[in-house]
């Protein structure tokens, strides 16, 4: 009997519910989104490109979802939105598609030092094909100075790519100001908005970027589906050639179930934007204001004025991020880290080094991304666990005296 209880306990402990403070990696889908997708699966829709009744019905729900996503970014013409397999495909498509379409005009690209790897590596790939790139640096808060972008432009420049909200430090870039410059020079402007679309209010008319890449999972939609806003008249090659799906811009039968989920999540995100924002802002404020009563000697990264409300990046001095992460998970809290030790490449984060952090401090960086289901108690519990862990690890550390 005792053994039975022991076995039961170890089983229940294994599945003990952990508090997720890593929503930048994974977001739970709300019931409304789940229901929409389950309903769609059961419908057994036809192929949206088919001319039969089943196909027409599928095309109708596809266009409905497109409308929902277009509305989320205040895009007036639904045709300007195409669906992809996620933020990475969207960024690849935007950068390579524009570069290929404009190769005869020039082969120079301007970007920033703190982009997502899907942007960095797309541009790096193009440099293997003879394209040149200029990457502008950012200030200590992680902000790009639009004047630097202007200086970097040449007659050969065919694309500017600057992200909207950063996934490591949360800094939001002055996209409107950069767009004014690119518009004047008539250079296509791509912004990777994967961390902002559906999270903060976005109006593509005001924002001014010519092409915007985004994904559904940051705003509680399914993974594996994303979108691209392409301003009408923009010169761009498709990445996938084939049929005439997605207004001839992305061939291949659409991921209808995922797209329906993305549409449902977009509708929900619009309705609840203010409520969610306020809740997350309060959690962030609580965490930052309470932090000094739990730990000392840390750095909060990013720009306090222009920042994502759902992301807090903290560099804890004298200790290393992967150790913090493992111990936090043991205590029941999930966060992510930007320590080199936790990445496959064992390299320090380019974003943290770009904002001037020392290697040692970059090593101790954890990224906390609360979500709509988190409560104030989760934040306080997390801080209590963090305090204990920081004390333990600093006792081991030779850097802490």
Partner 1 sequence: MLYSKTVMDHFKNPRNVGIIENADGIGEVGNPLCGDMMTIYLKIEDQKIKEIKFQTFGCGSAIAVSSILTELAIHKTIEAAKKITNKDVAKALEGLPKNKLHCSNLGADALQLAIKDYEAKKSGKTKPEPRRETEAHIPMHKKEGQKQCYCPYCDAKLSKKTTFCKACQSELDQEH
Residue 75 designated active-site:
no
Which is nearer to partner 1, 187 or 327 (by Cβ)? Answer: 327
Q: Does 214 bind partner 1 (CB under 8 A)?
A: no
Return the DSSP state at 372.
T
CA quadruple 343, 345, 351, 355: dihedral positive or negative?
A: positive
Q: Does 374 bind partner 1 (CB under 8 A)?
A: no
Q: Considering only 97-105, 155-163, 270-278, 344-352, which stretch makes contact with partner 1 by CB under 8 A? A: 344-352
**What does the alpha-carbon distance between residue 185 and residue 54 come to, in Å, rounded to a whole number?**
47
Determine which residue in the list 27, 84, 173, 339 makes contact with partner 1, applying CB under 8 A.
Answer: 339
HEC assignment per residue over 161-176 = ECCCECCCCCEECCHH
**What does the alpha-carbon distance between residue 201 and residue 207 come to, in Å, rounded to a whole number?**
11
Q: Does 31 bind partner 1 (CB under 8 A)?
A: no
Q: Does 342 bind partner 1 (CB under 8 A)?
A: yes
**What does the alpha-carbon distance between residue 97 and residue 90 come to, in Å, rounded to a whole number?**
10
CB-based burial, 92-114: b 16+ in 10 Å, e otherwise: bbbbbbbbbbbeeebbbbbbbbb
Q: Does 360 bind partner 1 (CB under 8 A)?
A: yes
Per the document, the length of the chain is 401
From residue 89, give the alpha-carbon distance in Å to each of 8, 43, 92, 138, 208: 44, 28, 5, 25, 21
Q: Does 293 bind partner 1 (CB under 8 A)?
A: no
Cβ 328 to partner 1 shortest distance, Å: 12
User: Which helix H or strand E contains 206, and what residues bound it?
Assistant: helix 204-207
Q: Does 333 bind partner 1 (CB under 8 A)?
A: no
**207, 141, 136, 198: which is closest to 175 by C-alpha?**
207
- Asked if 214 and 198 touch (Cβ cutoff 8 Å), the reply is yes
Determine which residue in the list 80, 192, 210, 320 makes contact with partner 1, applying CB under 8 A.
Answer: 320
Q: Does 340 bind partner 1 (CB under 8 A)?
A: yes
Size of the residue set binding partner 1 (CB under 8 A): 28
Return the DSSP state at 342.
G
Q: Does 341 bind partner 1 (CB under 8 A)?
A: yes
Determine which residue in the list 147, 248, 326, 388 makes contact with partner 1, applying CB under 8 A.
Answer: 326
What residues from 97 to 126 belong to the interface with partner 1 (CB under 8 A)? 121, 124
Which is nearer to partner 1, 33 or 342 (by Cβ)? Answer: 342
Q: Does 13 bind partner 1 (CB under 8 A)?
A: no
Q: Does 316 bind partner 1 (CB under 8 A)?
A: no
Task: Please pick, among 41, 326, 341, 396, the residue that the annotation labels catalytic.
Answer: 341
**What does the alpha-carbon distance between residue 105 and residue 48 come to, in Å, rounded to a whole number?**
36
**What does the alpha-carbon distance between residue 191 and residue 209 come to, in Å, rounded to a whole number?**
6
Q: Considering only 62-70, 111-119, 179-187, 340-348, which stretch makes contact with partner 1 by CB under 8 A? A: 340-348
Which is nearer to partner 1, 133 or 372 (by Cβ)? Answer: 133
Note the residues at the interface with partner 1 (CB under 8 A): 121, 124, 318-323, 326-327, 330, 339-342, 344-348, 359-360, 363, 395-399
Q: List residues with catalytic annotation.
A: 341
């Amino acid at each position: 009997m005792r053994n039975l209880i022991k076995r039961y306990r170890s089983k229940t402990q294994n599945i003990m519910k952990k508090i997720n403070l890593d929503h930048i990696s994974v977001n739970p889908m709300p019931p409304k989104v789940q229901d929409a997708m389950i309903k769609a699966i059961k419908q057994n829709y036809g192929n949206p490109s088919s001319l039969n009744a089943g196909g027409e019905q599928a095309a109708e729900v596809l266009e409905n979802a497109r409308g929902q996503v277009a509305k989320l970014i205040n895009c007036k013409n639904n045709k300007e939105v195409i669906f992809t397999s996620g933020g990475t495909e969207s960024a690849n498509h935007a950068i390579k598609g524009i570069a290929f379409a404009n190769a005869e005009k020039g082969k120079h690209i301007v970007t920033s030092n703190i982009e997502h790897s899907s942007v960095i590596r797309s541009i790096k790939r193009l440099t293997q094909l003879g394209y040149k790139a200029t990457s502008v640096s950012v200030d200590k808060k992680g902000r790009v100075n639009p004047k630097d972008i202007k200086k970097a432009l040449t007659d050969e420049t065919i694309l500017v790519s600057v992200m909207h909200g950063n996934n490591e430090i949360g800094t939001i870039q002055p996209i409107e100001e950069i767009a004014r410059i690119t518009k004047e020079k008539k250079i296509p402007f791509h912004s990777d908005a994967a961390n902002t679309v559906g999270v903060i209010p976005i109006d593509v008319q005001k924002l001014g970027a010519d092409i915007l890449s985004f994904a559904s999972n940051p705003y509680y939609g399914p993974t594996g589906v994303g979108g691209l806003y392409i301003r009408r008249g923009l010169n761009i090659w498709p990445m996938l050639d084939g049929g005439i799906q997605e207004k001839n811009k992305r061939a291949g039968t659409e991921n209808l179930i995922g797209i329906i989920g993305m549409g449902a999540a977009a509708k929900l995100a619009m309705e609840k934007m203010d409520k969610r924002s306020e809740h997350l802002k309060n959690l962030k404020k609580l965490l930052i204001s309470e932090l000094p009563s739990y730990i000392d000697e840390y750095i909060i990264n990013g720009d306090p004025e222009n920042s994502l409300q759902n992301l807090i990046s903290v560099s804890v001095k004298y200790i290393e991020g992967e150790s913090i992460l493992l111990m936090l998970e043991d205590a029941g809290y999930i966060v992510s880290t930007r320590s080199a030790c936790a990445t496959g490449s064992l390299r320090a984060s380019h974003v943290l080094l770009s904002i001037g952090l020392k290697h040692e401090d970059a090593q101790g960086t954890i990224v906390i991304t609360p979500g709509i289901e988190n409560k104030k108690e989760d934040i306080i519990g997390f801080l209590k666990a963090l305090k204990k862990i920081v004390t333990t690890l600093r006792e081991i550390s030779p850097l802490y005296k």
